[in-house]
Chain A
Amino acid sequence: MPESAGVPLIEMRGISKAYQTGGVPLWALRQVDFEVPRGDFVAIMGASGSGKSTLMNLLGCLDRPTSGRYRLAGRDVYRTDSNGLATIRNRYIGFVFHTLNLLARTSAVENVELPLVYAGVRARTRHQLAVEALQRVGLGARLQHHPSQLSGGQQQRVAIARALVMRPPLLLADEPTGNLDSRTSLEVMALFQELGRQGVTVVLVTHEPDIAAFARRIVVMRDGAIRSDLPNVSKDAAAMQAEGQLVEPR
């Protein structure tokens, strides 16, 4: 896989997506062009029905567009079959969902191990990598806890550890703070910011301006198209404000 520095991590050209509803095509995305360079921290905003979730699903290789091209890290995504897409999701993308998608009655470390299981990593290495990922999100002391024994913020951090464990170049977060209270939300967002500083490319979807404020770049969508795509000028101020309120993650 060519990883020349000049190529953006995400390169979408003329992406359209139509859903068939009663024979009439409903266009969720219309000719969207979207690029994300490596190391960027992008927030995608928009009202419900603006097409941001559809864009997210396409970015995450969970779906195929009606037309258009998508290169992820220089690789033409839609040339491969569903197995190929599964491999791309496994190696290049880490997902964080808005619902707390952890396996119940399964320990934190085993939840984090899951992507490694599908990558065919051996058990000992798997455990080691999972522990490291949990330490990275500040949960090194709660390896054997089950989701029900963890707070919402801690559960979301387990999910982030799971997204990070394969060390993917891209982290996709769909309303990552949707089910969290505002204080825990800040905690989780600070973590994303920290990861962004460490070089992970983060794309998150949110409808909350407070959350989007943590990003370096804010994309606003409406009616299946990108309406604005601007650097976040208030970023530093917001970050400082957030960090001032933070309790350091344990």
Chain B
Amino acid sequence: MSFNQTLLIAIRALLLNKLRSFLTGLGIIIGVAAVVAMVAVGEGAKDQMKSVFSSLGTNLLILLPGASSAGGMRGGFGTQPTITWSDLDAIRQQVPTARYVAAVLRTGAQVVGDQENWGTTVYGTSPDYFGIRDWKTTLGALFVDSDVRSGTKVADIGQTVSDQLFGPGANPIGKTIRIRNIPFTVIGLLAPKGQSPMGQDYDDCVYVPQTSFAEKIQGGLRQFVSGITEVSADSSQDTAKCEGQIEALLRERHHLRSGQADDFSIRNLTEMENASQQGMQTLSLLLSSIAAVSLLVGGIGIMNIMLVSVTERTREIGLRMAIGAKPLHIMAQFLVEAVTLSVIGGLIGIGLGSTIAWRLAATFGWHVSLRPDVMAVAMVFAAIVGVAFGLYPARKASRLNPIEALRYE
């Protein structure tokens, strides 16, 4: 007796009691739908958070100068310039896991275009910065290392600045903007990045080479870096190692004895990202336990109805045995029926869950991310539930005495 034949018998038996089959499968349907929908929403949130972190820069370390202390007033991180440009060169050369090293100098400034002017933030940095952010231009080009070395007066501007100065959709390449009255040539329009979670507009910015920034816009601190430094490690596994190497290198260069506190600080954003991911994982765990409970309840429903079905069809079982069905045939028939019920329930649940997720996305503008692997796992679990809870009724059916089964009224 082929599997197809058994499956056909099972499907026919289920179709004979459509409402009952549906109600029995409902436990599985709701369980699987809940999992698929909740995971889709959860993964959507996770993706959103991931994109927030990747717009900040991947595998990012932020290096801050030390804190000033004058007359008992301690100024906080970054108030005491301790990191020199040669420190940055040393990091670049001696820390192999540091892929990009970029100082980020910033100031608020009024920028003047052809007719309009706009108050924005001007950054002085090196091309490494664009590597950290994985930032490209939509028009023109980014400034390069030679611009930094020779201090050329070129600028890459954000979409917002371009819109405000030259009008929406205008091509700003080749135009001149004046920052603190110093003319800079726009050589690139940066690809829009949107808003940060705090509402800060990433595209409201002007980037110029750090040397031009220090010479023309803000005086600077000679050998010291007057701002933060961003370092990007090769991989997220390397961030901790990279952090340690930079710390060791800077302590040595700053002649700090052991026991003496660092005169700088390093922040590891990857760790923050990991922490947020751990929170997400806790949420996922919670969701899976809800799923496990609903699948368990669904399974009990299946077992209940299968036991009823075995009792109802005792005569049929007796008949099948009399005409040559082996105990294994009877067992397979009821087992396949239970598994079919749970698998079809699982499929409907996936459809329902996807629809719910999709509706949520459409109604509330949430990010949802449907995960095929989660669906597959949910299906496998639904099938396992079918087997686990169908086994006992099926065994019971297969062990019936044919004579008693035939006589059963």
Q: Which residue numbers of A lie inside 8 Å of B, CB to CB?
A: 57, 60, 62-63, 82-83, 86-87, 89-91, 95, 97, 99, 101, 103, 105-106, 114-115, 117-120, 162, 166
Question: In the complex, which residues of chain B have a beta carbon less than 8 angstroms from the beta carbon of A115?
Answer: 323-324
Contact, CB under 8 Å: A117 / B322: no
Query: Within the complex, which residue of B16, B324, B403 is in contact with A89, where a contact is CB–CB below 8 Å?
Result: B324
B323 in complex: contacting residue of A83, A99, A118, A120, CB < 8 Å? A118
Partner of B326, one of A62, A86, A105, A162: A86
Task: Return chain A residues, CB-CB under 8 Å to B316.
Answer: 103
Q: Contacts of B406 on A, CB cut-off 8 Å?
A: 62, 97, 101
- Pick from A97, A105, A106, A118 the residue with the most CB of B within 10 Å: A118
Q: Are B321 and A86 in contact (CB under 8 A)?
A: yes
* Contact of A120 with B1 at beta-carbon distance under 8 Å, contacts A62-B322, A91-B324, A115-B324 already known: yes
**Do A62 and B402 contact each other (CB < 8 Å), given the known contacts A105-B16, A117-B1?**
yes
Q: Which residues of A contact B280 (CB under 8 A)?
A: none
Q: Are A83 and B322 in contact (CB under 8 A)?
A: no
CB neighbours (8 Å) of B2 from chain A are 120
| Whole-angstrom CA separation of A120 from B2 in the bound complex | 7
- Interchain nearest-CB distance for B12 vs A (Å): 8
| B327 proximity list for chain A (CB < 8 A) | 82-83, 86
Contact B324 A118 (CB under 8 A): yes
Q: Determine how close the nearest CB of chain B comes to the CB of A148; give it in whole angstroms.
A: 13
Asked if B5 CB lies within 8 Å of chain A CBs, one says yes
Docked pose: A63 CA to B404 CA in angstroms = 10
**A63-B324 contact, Cβ under 8 Å, with A101-B315, A101-B319, A105-B16:** no
CB-defined contacts of A82 to chain B, threshold 8 Å: 326-327
Specify which chain B residues have a CB less than 8 angstroms from the CB of A106 in the assembled complex.
Answer: 12
Contact check, A90 vs B323: say whether CB atoms are below 8 A apart.
Answer: yes
| Set B320, B322, B324: member contacting A87, Cβ < 8 A | B324
In the complex, the answer to whether A57 meets B324 with C-beta atoms within 8 Å is: no
Contact with A along B314-343 (1 / 0, CB 8 A): 011001111111111100000000000000
8 Å CB contact of A119 from B319, B324, B403 = B324
A106 to B8, CA, bound (A): 12
Tell me if B329 and A89 are in contact (CB < 8 A): no
Check if B322 sits within 8 Å of A118, measured CB to CB.
Answer: no
- Taken together as a complex, chains A and B put the C-alpha atoms of A89 and B403 apart, in Å, by 13
Ranked 9 nearest A-B pairs via Cβ: A90-B324, A118-B324, A86-B326, A115-B323, A101-B319, A62-B402, A83-B326, A95-B322, A89-B324
The 15 listed contacts between A and B (C-beta, < 8 Å) are A57-B403, A60-B322, A62-B403, A82-B326, A83-B327, A89-B321, A89-B322, A89-B323, A103-B319, A117-B5, A118-B1, A118-B320, A118-B325, A119-B324, A166-B324
User: A54: nearest residue on chain B (CB-CB)?
Assistant: B403
- CB closest residue in chain A, given B398: A82
What is the bound-complex CA distance between A95 and B320, given in angstroms? 11
**Which residue, A62, A90, A95, A99, has most C-beta atoms of chain B within 10 A?**
A62
Give the CA-CA distance A118 to B329 in the complex, in Å. 8
CA distance A91 to B12 in the complex (A): 26
B320 surroundings in chain A (CB, below 8 A): 114, 118
B327, chain A: closest CB distance, angstroms: 6
Q: Which residue of B lies closest to A159 (CB)?
A: B319
Bitwise interface map of B from 1 to 33 toward A, beta carbon under 8 Å scored 1, else 0: 110010000001000100000000000000000
Q: Is the CB of B403 within 8 A of A95?
A: no
Q: How far is the CA of A62 from the CA of B323 in the complex (A)?
A: 10
How many Å lie between the Cα of A91 and that of B326 in the bound state? 13
Shortest Cβ distance from residue B125 to the other chain A in the assembled complex, whole angstroms:
75
Are A162 and B323 interface neighbours, CB within 8 A? yes
- With the chains together, A210 CA to B257 CA distance in Å? 119
Known A83-B328, A97-B322, A101-B319; further 8 A-B contacts with Cβ < 8 A: A62-B321, A86-B324, A86-B325, A86-B326, A89-B324, A115-B323, A118-B1, A118-B329
CA distance A86 to B328 in the complex (A): 11
A25–B324 Cα distance when bound, in Å, is 30
A120 CA to B6 CA, complexed, in Å: 12
Interface centre among B1, B16, B326, B327 (most CB of A within 10 A): B326
Q: Which residues of B contact A83 (CB under 8 A)?
A: 326-328
Neighbouring B residues of A95 by C-beta, 8 Å: 322-323
User: Residue-by-residue, is B385-400 near A (CB-CB < 8 Å gives 1, otherwise 0)?
Assistant: 0000000000000000
The docked-state distance in angstroms from the alpha carbon of A101 to that of B320 is 10
CA–CA, A91 to B324, complex, Å? 8
| B283-334, CB < 8 A from A | 315-316, 319-329
In the complex the two chains form, what is the Cα distance from A60 to B319 in whole Å? 12
A114 to B324, CA, bound (A): 9
A86 CA / B319 CA spacing, docked (Å): 12
CB distance from B323 to the nearest CB of A (A): 4
Chain B neighbourhood of A86, CB < 8 A = 321, 324-327
Max chain A CB contacts within 10 Å: which of B1, B12, B316, B402? B402
In the assembled complex, which residues on chain A have CB atoms less than 8 Å from the CB atom of B321?
62, 86, 89
**Once bound together, how far apart are the Cα atoms of A229 and B5, in whole Å?**
45
Which residue, B2, B321, B322, B325, has most C-beta atoms of chain A within 10 A?
A: B322
**Residues from chain A with Cβ under 8 Å of B403 in the complex:** 57, 62-63
- Give the distance to chain B from A48, nearest Cβ to Cβ, in Å: 13
The A-contacting residues of B in range 50-80, CB under 8 angstroms, are none
Q: Nearest chain-B residue to A86 (Cβ)?
A: B326
How far is A166 from B16 in the complex, measured between Cα atoms in Å?
28
